[in-house]
């Protein structure tokens, strides 16, 4: 083989190989590992879902299997599941064959009670239900209430959200710093990820990042809808965050020191009219029980909503096993107010999975009208909506 031909074959092989799961890897002056993927890059593998769900809970003669406003689904070590049911403000536990076992918590303001359950976290089989004001209640698998965590507060901040469990008895709380000022033409509001102690009294700042942008509209600071924003995931001793105008994610260690930065070039696209219509309808549905006069005002107001022109690059981050980072695509219905069914993805959603060192490990496509809550080594658990908009808890197997 001639030297020229050998060189051509070698270069072709390297070009083909480097586009599959491999990044241009460097380190910056601080020693942060930089994993950069071109627009043509592909993951190392494509994972698939099982032909049939591992577990599916739908409406039966048992009222416990009737779900509404599900806020979290986690799979337990024995194959059962726990479900945070928002409509009843309780956590329902089911066996691996779908039988109802027990309910944890109830509506209320006391220990083990929820005003508005918003999230379900898990460490092993210990369950942590998070309330809307960032209070949290810790339950043993037996159903015994271990302790209740007070609302997390940090001076000068607002809207605390308990988003993950840290090392030991600590937890991660995301807070919004300050408040927008009407006279500012354009400003950035920041988020700070903090670590709360076991009692929830002390919040130690870990990382501060851009949260969202505002502009004054009729003298009032307002956000453009469907605009990029700060997205964060935190679990155990790791946290990853990025501003969703592009896929540039930084992952941090337990002290807040950056360890890995993942960058992937994604072609930008414009916000579509059907996505703007989805947002307008969501706000109308969220006010469907308001007096007729208010409904009429809302019908007029939604037509004047300000929208971003370019779609974000991603909407969600979540941790899987062994520190894997799952990155969800832009989902216009995610985090909107109103009933969940109309906001569920209308098309299949392809998630990217990155290893702790930034390697693009895989892609996996989730079915339409399915909202995932937990990603395991061989499963993904969430809620699906049927043709009648009824919520069903579903656990899909993941084939690696």
Whole-number pLDDT of residue 178: 81
pLDDT at 219 over 80: no
Whole-number pLDDT of residue 9: 39
Average pLDDT of 197-210? 87
Whole-number pLDDT of residue 30: 85
Look up residue 252 and give its two tokens.
Answer: 């941090």
Q: Where are the alpha helices (DSSP H) in the chain?
A: 3-18, 273-286, 292-301
pLDDT at 5 over 50: no
User: Using CA atoms, how far apart are residues 212 and 227, in angstroms rounded to an integer?
Assistant: 8
> Would you put residue 89 in left (φ > 0), alpha (ψ -120 to 50) or beta?
left
Whole-number pLDDT of residue 251: 98
Reported as a pLDDT band with limits 50, 70 and 90, residue 182 is: low
Please, what is the average pLDDT of the chain? 90
Whole-number pLDDT of residue 274: 97
CB 317 within 8 A of CB 249: yes
Average pLDDT of 359-366? 98
Whole-number pLDDT of residue 169: 86
Q: Where are the domains of the chain?
A: 3-271+307-399
* Strand-pair category, 360-366 with 45-49: parallel
Whole-number pLDDT of residue 134: 87
Between 20-34, 136-150, 328-342, the lowest mean confidence (pLDDT) is in: 20-34
pLDDT for 75-96, tens place per residue?
A: 999 999 999 999 999 999 999 9
Whole-number pLDDT of residue 119: 97
Strand partners, 212: 189
- Name the most confidently modeled range: 21-35, 59-73, 75-89, 286-300: 75-89
What is the tally of helices (H) and strands (E) in the chain?
3, 30
> Would you put residue 358 in left (φ > 0), alpha (ψ -120 to 50) or beta?
left
pLDDT for 118-154, tens place per residue?
A: 999 999 999 999 999 889 999 998 899 999 988 888 8
Q: What are phi and psi of 63, to 5 degrees?
A: -60, -25
* Three-state helix/strand/coil letters over 308-374: CCECCCCCEEEECHHHCEEEECCCCCCCCCCCCHHHCCCCCEEEEEECCCCCEEEEEEECCCEEEEE
Whole-number pLDDT of residue 228: 98
User: Using CA atoms, how far apart are residues 215 and 221, in angstroms rounded to an integer?
Assistant: 5
User: Using CA atoms, how far apart are residues 393 and 356, in angstroms rounded to an integer?
Assistant: 29
pLDDT at 7 over 50: no
Between residues 141 and 71, the one the model is more confident about: 71
Between residues 26 and 391, the one the model is more confident about: 391
Burial of 152 (0-12, 13-18, 19+ CB in 10 A): buried
* DSSP label at residue 171: E
User: Using CA atoms, how far apart are residues 151 and 132, in angstroms rounded to an integer?
Assistant: 9
Whole-number pLDDT of residue 155: 82
Average pLDDT of 228-255? 96
Q: What is the CATH T-level fold of the domain 3-271+307-399, as seen in this structure?
A: Neuraminidase (2.120.10)
Nearest to 149 by CA among 158, 159, 157, 165: 165
pLDDT at 17 over 50: no
Average pLDDT of 84-112? 96
pLDDT for 306-320, tens place per residue?
A: 999 999 999 999 999
Average pLDDT of 281-292? 92
pLDDT at 73 over 80: yes
Average pLDDT of 390-397? 96
pLDDT at 11 over 80: no
Whole-number pLDDT of residue 331: 98
């Amino acid at each position: 083989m001639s030297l020229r031909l050998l060189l051509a074959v070698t270069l072709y092989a390297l070009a083909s190989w480097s586009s599959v799961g491999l990044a241009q890897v460097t380190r910056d002056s601080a020693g942060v590992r930089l994993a950069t993927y071109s627009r043509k890059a592909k993951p190392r593998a494509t994972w698939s879902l099982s032909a049939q769900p591992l577990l599916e809970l739908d409406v039966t003669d048992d009222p416990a299997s009737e779900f509404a406003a599900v806020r979290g689904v986690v799979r337990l070590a024995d194959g059962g599941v726990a479900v945070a049911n928002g409509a009843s403000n309780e956590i329902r536990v089911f066996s691996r064959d779908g039988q109802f076992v027990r309910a944890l918590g109830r509506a209320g303001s006391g220990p083990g009670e929820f005003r508005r359950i918003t999230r379900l976290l898990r460490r092993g089989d210990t369950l942590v239900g998070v309330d809307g004001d960032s209070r949290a209640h810790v339950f043993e698998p037996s159903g015994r209430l271990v302790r209740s965590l007070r609302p997390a507060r940090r001076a000068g901040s607002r809207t605390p959200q308990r988003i993950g469990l840290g090392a030991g008895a600590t937890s991660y709380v995301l807070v919004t710093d300050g408040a927008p000022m009407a006279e500012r033409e354009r400003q950035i509001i920041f988020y700070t990820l903090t670590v709360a102690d076991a009692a929830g009294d002390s919040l130690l700042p870990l990382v501060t990042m851009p949260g969202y942008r505002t502009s004054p509209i009729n003298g009032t600071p307002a956000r453009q809808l469907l605009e990029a924003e700060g997205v964060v995931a935190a679990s155990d001793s790791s946290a990853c965050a990025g501003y969703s105008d592009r896929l540039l994610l930084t992952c941090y260690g337990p002290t807040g020191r950056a360890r890995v930065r993942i960058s992937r070039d994604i072609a930008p696209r414009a916000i579509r009219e059907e996505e703007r219509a989805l947002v307008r309808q969501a706000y109308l549905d969220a006010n469907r029980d308001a007096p007729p006069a208010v409904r009429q005002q809302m019908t007029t107001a939604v037509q004047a909503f300000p929208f971003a022109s370019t779609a974000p690059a991603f909407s969600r981050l979540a941790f899987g096993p062994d520190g894997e980072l799952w990155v969800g695509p832009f989902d216009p219905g995610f985090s909107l107010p109103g009933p969940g069914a109309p906001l569920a993805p209308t098309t299949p959603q392809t998630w990217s999975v990155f290893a702790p060192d930034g390697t693009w490990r895989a892609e996996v496509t989730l079915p339409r009208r399915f909202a995932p809550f937990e990603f395991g080594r061989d499963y993904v658990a969430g809620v699906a909506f049927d043709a009648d908009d009824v919520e069903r808890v579903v656990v899909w197997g993941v084939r690696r």
